[in-house]
Amino acid sequence: MFRSATVRAWLVRKNDAVFVAYASIAAFSAYSCMYAFRKPFAAGHFTGLEFMGFDYKTVIIIAQVLGYMLSKFIGIKVISEISWAKRPVLMVLFIGIAELALVLFALVSPPYNILFLFVNGLPLGMVWGIVFSYLEGRKFTDIITLCLCASFIVASGFVKTVGKMVLNWGFSDFAMPMITGALFFVPLLFFLWMLEGLPPPSKEDVALKTQRIPMNGKERKKFFMSFAPGLILMIIAYLILTAYRDFRDNYMADFWQALGLGSSATIFTSTEIPIALGVLLLLAFLLQIKNNSTALVLNHVAIIAGFSIVGIATLLFQAHRFHPVLWIILVGFGLFLSYIPFNGIVFDRLIAVFGYKSNAGFLIYVADFFGYLASVGVLIYKSFFQRKLTYIGFFISGSYVLSLTGVVVMILSLAYFKTKKRSLSARTTTILQPE
């Protein structure tokens, strides 16, 4: 087998198209495999089970999201400081812990096995940062990250399809996540090996996108405070997106059942593929833009458009103008049109616009921590204060909240960063003028 160093040397000699294709396949596939350790249990129903009067599936979802949220908090430090040498070791360690937790989830009786879904989520939240660290700060980061982000859409549905198939093989709701994860362990190792074959950013990459460096606590604080108002607005948008996306992802099986389409194993994948293709095609337009300032503005516009589509599609569905399948597809399209740019693309462009030596992983993990904090909050709110409202009814209400709030905060964010850029440009011009 070729060593990673040999693959790096081979990629350096190849043209840009080969590099982009190789990096995109490696990143998309590696992160897709991670979903097999995180999301297969969402294909189960855990019918008839409760814990302290609450639906058992909701309890285990909250347990896992709490672990995932804590992982994002830990990741603010771990991912922003990570060195190249530690990445593959940490990836294998994190995935191994997650699979072991699924094994214990299957073997330990309820309700004691709830703890192991918390443990399962604890390492998995840092996998994204490891994968993205291989990609950021390159002239082709946008297109590779876009392919990586497609895994959010396709892999989640695909893993649920595999989970449903495992259930059809006769495994229980509790054993199914363990079996599904085991099926993807070796493929994940292969795609991690592919990622290790990527060479570091070139001199051209650094010139175009600014040098990416590890950041200590003092540097992270200084960076955040330099752009605090705009970053806070973006985090607000991202936290509602994360909570909405997570709720949709966790209860999609219940949505389809409520809509009378719950018996099909392929419904998860067949509806997510059009969403992925549509979002990829639309966002691919932004990849052609070399000017970082223009790209940052257009990313804001795309995010605002996504928020708007969610609200409009839900309104038309409730007016009986849309078939349920079309509604789910359009809501998913709007959701991911807004969600995907936050997972590397918009932050990568932001750093390039202002020429700040840093790394996008830090911003992603700050946003992710608050996003999953909001996700936990939504699940608890639904469980305690909206128990009589169906999952799909709660989702519809959340669609309107997401749409209205998201449009407002992203318009304000766009105004802030345009003003900030003009201010810095004017200051630089004044300094450069001769006396």
Rounded mean pLDDT, 289-303: 92
Q: Burial-class residue 166 by CB neighbours within 10 Å (0-12, 13-18, 19+).
A: buried
Q: What is the pLDDT of residue 359?
A: 78
CATH number for the domain including 117?
1.20.1250.20
User: Got the DSSP string for 98-125?
Assistant: HHHHHHHHHHSPTTTTHHHHHHHHHHHT
Q: Which of 7-11, 291-295, 410-414 has the lowest mean pLDDT?
A: 7-11
What does the alpha-carbon distance between residue 141 and residue 352 come to, in Å, rounded to a whole number?
12
pLDDT, tens only, 348-402:
889 888 988 787 778 888 998 999 899 889 988 988 888 888 889 999 999 999 9
DSSP 220-278: HHHHHHHTHHHHHHHHHHHHHHHHHHHHHHHTHHHHHHHTT-TT-STHHHHHHHHHHHH
Q: Where does residue 210 fall: left (phi above 0), alpha (psi -120 to 50 degrees), or beta otherwise?
A: left
pLDDT digits (tens, 9 = 90+) for 227-243: 999 999 999 999 999 99
Q: Which pLDDT tens digit goes with each residue over 58-100? A: 899 889 989 999 999 999 888 888 888 889 999 999 999 999 9
Q: Who has greater pLDDT, 174 or 4?
A: 174
For residue 24 the two structure tokens come to 């995109």
Specify burial of residue 435 (Cβ count, 10 A radius: 0-12, 13-18, 19+): exposed
Extract long-range pairs of 215-224: CB within 8 Å, 24+ residues apart: 215/80, 215/81, 215/358, 215/359, 215/362, 216/81, 217/77, 219/358, 220/76, 220/80, 220/362, 223/356, 223/358, 223/362, 224/366
- Which range has the worst mean pLDDT, 115-119, 136-140, 337-341? 136-140
> What are 29-65's pLDDT values in tens digits?
999 999 999 988 877 878 888 888 888 888 998 899 8
CA–CA dist 303, 342 (Å, integer) = 9
14 versus 340: which is more confidently predicted? Answer: 340
Query: What are the tokens at 234?
Result: 């973006």
- Cα dist from 302 to 7, 131, 215, 227, whole Å: 36, 24, 30, 21
As a whole number of angstroms, the distance between CA 433 and CA 435 comes to: 7
432 has a pLDDT exceeding 50: no
Alpha-carbon distance of 403 to 19, in angstroms, equals 37
Q: Rounded to the nearest 5°, which phi and psi values hold at 261?
A: -125, 25
CA distance 24 to 30: 10
Structural tokens at position 180: 């599904």
Tens-place pLDDT, residues 325-362:
899 999 999 999 999 888 878 888 898 889 887 877 78
- Once rounded to an integer, what is the mean pLDDT over residues 155-160? 84
Token couple for 68: 């995932």
Mean pLDDT of 12-18: 82
Helix (H) or strand (E) holding 50: strand 50-51
Contact 28, 150 (CB under 8 A): yes
For range 293-316, the mean pLDDT: 96
What pLDDT, on a 0 to 100 scale, did the predictor assign at position 169? 93
Residue 431 confidence (pLDDT) above 60? no
What pLDDT does 235 receive?
95
pLDDT score, position 262: 61
More confident residue, 116 or 141: 116
Rounded to an integer, what distance in angstroms lies between the CA atom of residue 334 and that of residue 306? 4
Domain count, the chain: 1
Dist CA 32 CA 20 (whole Å): 18
More confident site: 170 or 214:
170
Computed over every residue of the chain, the mean pLDDT equals 88
Pair 146, 345: CB distance under 8 Å: yes
State the amino acid at position 423 in one-letter form: S
Checking if the pLDDT of 434 tops 70, the result is no
411 has pLDDT over 60: yes
Determine the pLDDT at residue 212: 76
pLDDT (0 to 100) of residue 406: 97
Backbone angle region of 14, left / alpha / beta, with phi > 0 → left and psi within -120 to 50 → alpha: beta
For the chain, percent of residues with pLDDT exceeding 70: 96
Q: Could you give the count of Cα atoms lying within 13 Å of 217 in the half-sphere of its Cβ?
A: 1
d(CA 361, CA 144): 15
Nearest to 172 by CA among 55, 44, 35: 44
- The domain in which residue 355 lies consists of 4-432
pLDDT at 1 over 60: no
142 falls in which pLDDT band (50, 70, 90)?
Answer: confident
Amino acid at 79: I
Per-residue confidence (pLDDT) for residue 47, from 0 to 100:
80
The more confident residue out of 207 and 103 is 103
The 10s digit of each residue's pLDDT in 174-217 is 999 999 999 999 999 999 999 999 988 888 888 877 777 778 88
